[in-house]
Structure 1
Amino acid sequence: MTVKKFNLPDVGEGLTEAEVVSWKVKPGDTVAINDVICEIETAKSLVELPSPYAGTVAELLVAEGVTVEVGTAIIGISDNAPGESEPAPATASPAVEPAPASAAVAAPPAEPAAEQIVETLMYGKLPDDAGTSEGGPAASPLVGSGPKADAVKRRPRKRPEGAAPAAPSTAQEPVAEQPATAAPSTAQATATASPATASQAPGPTRLGVAVSGLVNRVLAKPPVRKIARELGIDLADVVATGARGEVTREDVVSYQSQRDAEVDKADKFWAASRKPQDQRVERIPVKGVRRATAKAMVESAFTAPHVSIFVDVDASRTMEFVKRLKASRDFEGIKVSPLLILSKAVIWAAARNPSVNATWVENADGNGNAEIHVKHYMNLGIAAATPRGLMVPNIKDAQDLSLKELALALNELASTARAGKTQPSQMQGGSLTITNIGALGIDTGTPIINPGEVAIVAFGTIKQKPWVLDGEVIPRWITTLGGSFDHRVVDGDLSARFMADVASILEEPALLLD
């Protein structure tokens, strides 16, 4: 038996170091080739490392949270000698055989099902919602923890007795011995005991009241509603990323982190002011994505001469178009937002003004001469704020995508970035970037150009404002676009024409059909 050591590799982006964020294995675990053994954070993103060897984990050589250089041994994996390779399947089979017959494995799905019944009554889940999950595997006890939670199979509905799970079976036996006249009072007592109906009128109208109050509510599973209620979040304010347009647990958590970011900072600041003198300053190491972003932004800001322009846009027809797309059968289950129309507008406008889709290259020929490389493709970058810092993944060859394909690509990009699973290759080779600051309620801003590009568009919030149309002041949906450009490549005339073209699409999306 020999122990092979796996050295931290370069993930293909020329990085020199990475932080071991979390281990997915422990000493004694058996791993196969390509099994994920750990997650590392590079200067670009979070990356899962697969095992290059099959065998047993002998030791973990680097602790979680430690940054090491590429080439450093991080794990030791022992391989069995030839004579010892045969018993391996035999030792694994006893662990697998008892699993189907084990009561402990079969029992967990029953408990989440009972919890969902109670949650349904407590938080007003419509009865027909339960039917949508029938037929799915009853495997995951983490109800509502992600998009796959819809697959949880629910048990038949039963009226909760407000007691332990075993209470209904024991409480029903004496009921059979009671006179027939006692049955209604027993049922009424059960209904009164339900926490969901304590504040509503008794009798048959109770369900009608509950249903009528939920007709226009946002789609979300009961556990998600419970989390939102505990956090004081209105689900209507949360952007839904579920497969059927429902709000997921991750959506609520992401919204909460964004909403309370400034409040948390203030709380920490004032809490620190009451600590001893030597603890009043919090030291946060700058590493990984945060360090790489800071370096890139400083280089961009002080290398490329920025010029910024702004334009107010009447996006009322864009809002109407988005509404029609949401109601369209072709876009069923796909998140559609004004960002989709803006993305298409940027692609269209860049085709009319190719020089905004370019790169300035210093010393391109080795003799100190610079070049402008105009790209005849569009890798559209979308700036995404994550807990680890700003990331700008891009959609490859976005110019070739239909509106539906672009919507799917935007959804995947956002969910992947939010989960911290963006790969380095997804952030390489960008052409032009959009930063959607309007999602945070900001009107506009002066963004810094992403390194390697010459233009970036800031998309402000869309809200109703008084607007003069045909000599009359009427309420319209207005947004402000802000664009920053590298003045070495994009002069004032070109930047103005580009922004005017983007604005024209938001004002009249039908131009995309030309």
Structure 2
Amino acid sequence: MGIFAMPSLGADMEAGTLVEWLVKPGDEVHRGDVVAVVETQKGAIEIECFQDGSVLELQADLGATLPVGAPLALILGPGETAPEPKEPKAPAVAAKPEVAPRPAVADKPEAVPGPAVAAPLPCGATPASPAARLRARELGIDLATVSGSGPAGAILLADLEAREPDAMRVQTTAPMAEMRRAIAAAMVRSKQTIPHFYLSQTIDIQSARAWLETRNADRLPSDRLLLGALFVRATALAAAKVPSVNGQCVDGTFHPSDRINTGIAVALRGGGLVAPALIDAGAMSVDETMAGLRDLVLRARAGRLRSSELTEGTITISSLGAVGAEAMAGVIFPPQVALVGLGAPKLRPWVVNGAVVPRTVVTLTLSVDHRVSDGRQAGRFIAEFQSHIASPETL
């Protein structure tokens, strides 16, 4: 029997609020199944189970704010059975001392306990789960306009998903003070505990842009590849050749990762930043990488990330996009050990085959944890990245 506990969803997390259970006692669960939704500063996060079995007992109430590591549920492993309830022992009976009779008092009716009754909803309120109410407030959706699929017609989080794209177009987000505090705490921890060093290189990406134009010529806009997908692929292939930059450093010990889970820094509407991971990006094609990026960014901005995407990143990419500064030296997301910072592409005079020609270039700055790597290994990573971007057909 295992304890399903409140997971840590980042270096900045101390507690989370349980807003929705997606399982009940008796349900079968498997590794990777989403079993609950927890609200943190980063939004509503889908929490995954990391073992096979069946749910024996839910030990946390909806709305409870619990610290990392607090038990949420008990899960029986395959083949295990629920333990027999222990019969309480009869207390020893002591001899009762004689007590003088009390004086008679006026009869008073005794309170008779009755069955517990749930507090009724306010008059006219629409029945909905706590997570659905929270998401509806964020999106500005009137619950009275939504059809519920839960018990007695209650509205669940899934019932709002179809309404999110329209709602997000008109959504206005309040200042995200809690998220900014969380980001500040994580970055302070990073700079105080990780000895950063930085290597930069300006890279010619003209061949990559020409290759993209050819690949995208006959595609619909929704299916076109973006430069960011090539950056992710180049990062994954380079990390496979230089494993000292791919993994996590926990309690002073570096744990290199067999998989390359590239974290993608995503700016949220209204402010704030998250860096969910594209799991096993090293095994994806360019088209699969592009589809994964679109899905990850959409869910990050809708507050529908999974716990594994926030905890299993092994190297992160942060790009300023098409418009912005020429270079960026980023702060490593602990417990990772490296971050790829990419400035905005710029048109610059460049020497090609002895002639000066206009070329599109981008400046890459690699932030590295000096406890687990050094300048020679970081330089190898940049060289591998540059080689793949110069030959995009290898991606």
- TM-score tier after normalising by the smaller chain length: 0.5 to 0.7
Q: State the 1:18 CA deviation.
A: 4.0
Q: For residues 77 and 325 of structure 1, do their structure 2 counterparts lie closer, same or farther at Cα, with a shift above 3 Å needed?
A: farther
- Correspondence 1:428 to 2:311: yes
Task: Tell me, yes or no, if the aligned pair for 1:383 and 1:434 is still in contact at 8 Å.
Answer: yes
Query: 3-state DSSP class of the match of 2:312?
Result: coil
State the one-letter code of the partner of 1:350.
A
**CA–CA distance in 2 between the matches of 1:306 and 1:335?**
36
SS of the aligned residue for 1:449 comes to: coil
1:457 to 336, 340, 355: 340
Q: Does 1:503 align with 2:386?
A: yes
1:13 aligns with 8
Higher RCO (C-alpha 8 Å, min separation 6): 2
1:303 paired to 2:303: no
2:203 alignment partner in structure 1: 313
| 1:321-349 C-alpha deviation (Å, 9 max, x unpaired) | 222222355x8732421111111111111
CA drift at 1:290: 3.1
1:488–1:322 Cα change, 3 Å? same
Asked whether the 8 Å contact 1:18–1:68 carries over to 2, the reply is: yes
Write out aligned runs for 1:10-409 (5 A).
11-13=6-8, 17-18=15-16, 41-47=39-45, 68-69=65-66, 78=118, 250=168, 286-287=177-178, 289-328=179-218, 333-362=222-251, 370-386=252-268, 387=270, 389-409=272-292
Provide Cα deviations, 1:90-130, integer angstroms capped at 9, x if missing partner. xxxxxxxxxxxxxxxxxx9xxxxxxxxxxxxxxxxxxxxxx
Q: CA deviation at 1:460?
A: 1.3
Report which of the two has the higher share of strand.
Answer: 2
Letter in 1 for 2:210: E
Q: CA deviation at 1:304?
A: 1.1
Structure 1 residues 300 and 327 mapped into 2: Cα distance closer, same or farther (>3 Å)?
Answer: same
Shift of 1:77: 8.3
Q: Which residue of 1 aligns with 2:112?
A: none
Q: Distance in 1 between matches of 2:272 and 2:337?
A: 22
RMSD: 4.1
Q: Distance in 2 between matches of 1:503 and 1:18?
A: 41
Aligned mates of 2:311, 2:364 — CA distance in 1: 25
Rg larger for: 1
Tell me the TM-score normalised to structure 1 length.
0.47
Higher helix share: 1
Residue pair 1:438, 1:444 contacting (<8 A) in 2 also: no
Deviations 1:212-239 (A, max 9, x none): xxxxxxxxxxxxxxxxxxxxxxxxxxxx
CA contact 2:343–2:362 (8 Å) conserved in 1:
yes
Q: What is the rounded CA distance, in whole Å, between the counterparts of 2:243 and 2:211 in structure 1?
A: 27
Identity value in percent:
31
| Counterpart selection for 2:302 from 396, 414, 419 | 419
Q: 2:8·2:14 contact (CA, 8 Å) conserved in 1?
A: no
Distance 2:389 2:320 in 1: 17
How far apart are the structure 2 equivalents of 1:415 and 1:286? 22
Kindly provide the CA deviation profile for residues 165-222 of structure 1, in whole angstroms up to 9, marking residues without a partner as x.
xxxxxxxxxxxxxxxxxxxxxxxxxxxxxxxxxxxxxxxxxxxxxxxxxxxxxxxxxx
Query: Aligned-pair distance for 1:146?
Result: 6.8
In the alignment, what sits opposite 2:50?
none
- Give how far 1:358 is off: 2.8
Instruction: Tell me which amino acid in the other structure corresponds to 2:280.
Output: D
Alignment partners' CA distance in 1, 2:177 and 2:221: 42
Q: In structure 2, how many angstroms separate the alpha carbons of the residues matched to 1:146 and 1:320?
A: 36
SS at match of 2:294: helix
> CA contact under 8 A between 2:46 and 2:305: conserved in structure 1?
no
CA distance in 2, matches of 1:458, 1:500: 15
CA distance in 2, matches of 1:299, 1:446: 17
Distance in 2 separating the partners of 1:16 and 1:354: 30
- Counterpart CA distance in 2 for 1:502 and 1:448 is 20
- Render the CA deviation track for 1:350-376: whole Å, top value 9, x for unaligned: 1111111133333xxxxxxx5332212
Cα shift at 1:17: 3.6
How far has the Cα of 1:79 moved from its partner?
Answer: 11
**Rounded Cα–Cα distance in structure 2 between residues aligned with 1:77 and 1:395:** 46
Tell me which amino acid in the other structure corresponds to 2:214.
R
Aligned residues: 280
Q: How far is the alpha carbon of 1:44 from its aligned partner?
A: 4.3
